[in-house]
């Protein structure tokens, strides 16, 4: 049987999603007896993620300098988590369960099931949309996204709305009359699961 390896799929995530993913890894590896001496300490990883989050927030201003700083922070965090992934691979020696216990995704793994009962309804105020999905067993967080207009052909077209532990989320400030697509993914101990099928709604 082919051995499992850590998948570096986090590289393709948007910055906001990486922050959620990285924090989940740090949380799962803290006190994890399978990984006593990571090649990069969890303290250093936490600092890198904190810096990335700060720079990501600052980059929302549109400043070229702030965007450049965020890109540098993202590169530094990516490289550190690549190094951590190599450590997890070395320790796991092909064990899928060991890899998943770290928070990374494995090359052969069961998909965390996100049931299809995902709904999007207008809120009480103009520009509000209420998103809800069935609770996923073992979910630690839910990540919510939307896009305006046509359904994106790749990940770059999606906008991060927020994340939280509840299976319900309100997006505010959308333009009334605009056509938007919405989707959600659950984060479990196995990492971030697949996105739900997107739902299109016209914002009231």
Q: What are the structural domains, with CATH classification, of the chain? A: 6-106 (no CATH), 118-202 (2.60.40.10)
Residue with tokens 């996204």: 145
Q: How far is CA 160 from CA 42, 145, 185, in A?
A: 26, 5, 11
| Region of residue 62 (left: phi > 0; alpha: psi -120 to 50; beta: else) | left
pLDDT digits (tens, 9 = 90+) for 13-22: 999 999 999 9
Dist. CA 62–CA 57, nearest whole Å: 10
pLDDT tens readout for residues 96-140: 889 999 999 988 544 454 445 899 999 999 999 999 999 888 888
Summarised one tens digit per residue, pLDDT across range 43-84 is 999 999 999 999 999 999 989 999 999 999 999 999 999 999
Tell me, what DSSP letter sits at residue 127?
Answer: T
Of residues 66 and 191, the one with the higher pLDDT is 66
Angle at the Cα of 35 from the Cα atoms of 137 and 85, rounded to 5 degrees: 80
Residue 5 pLDDT greater than 70, yes or no: yes
168 CB-contact burial (10 Å; exposed 0-12 / middle 13-18 / buried 19+) = middle
Q: Which two tokens stand for residue 16?
A: 């906001």
């Amino acid at each position: 049987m082919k051995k499992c390896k850590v998948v570096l799929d986090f590289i393709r995530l948007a910055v906001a999603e990486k922050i959620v993913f990285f924090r989940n890894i740090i949380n799962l590896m803290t006190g994890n007896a399978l990984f006593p001496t990571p090649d990069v300490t969890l303290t250093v990883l936490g600092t890198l993620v904190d810096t990335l989050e700060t720079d990501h927030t600052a980059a929302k201003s549109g400043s070229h300098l702030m965007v450049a700083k965020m890109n540098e922070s993202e590169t530094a965090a990516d490289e550190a988590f690549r190094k951590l992934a190599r450590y997890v691979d070395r320790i796991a020696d092909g064990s899928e369960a060991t890899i998943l216990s770290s928070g990374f995704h494995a090359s052969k793994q069961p998909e965390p099931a996100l049931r299809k009962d995902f709904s999007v309804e207008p809120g009480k105020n103009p520009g509000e949309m209420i998103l809800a999905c069935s609770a996923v067993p073992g979910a630690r967080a839910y990540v919510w996204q939307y896009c305006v207009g046509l359904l994106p052909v790749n990940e770059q077209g999606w906008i991060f709305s927020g994340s939280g532990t509840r299976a319900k989320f309100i997006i505010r400030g959308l333009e009334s009359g605009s056509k938007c697509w919405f989707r959600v993914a659950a984060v479990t101990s196995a990492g971030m699961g697949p996105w739900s099928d997107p739902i299109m709604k016209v914002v009231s």
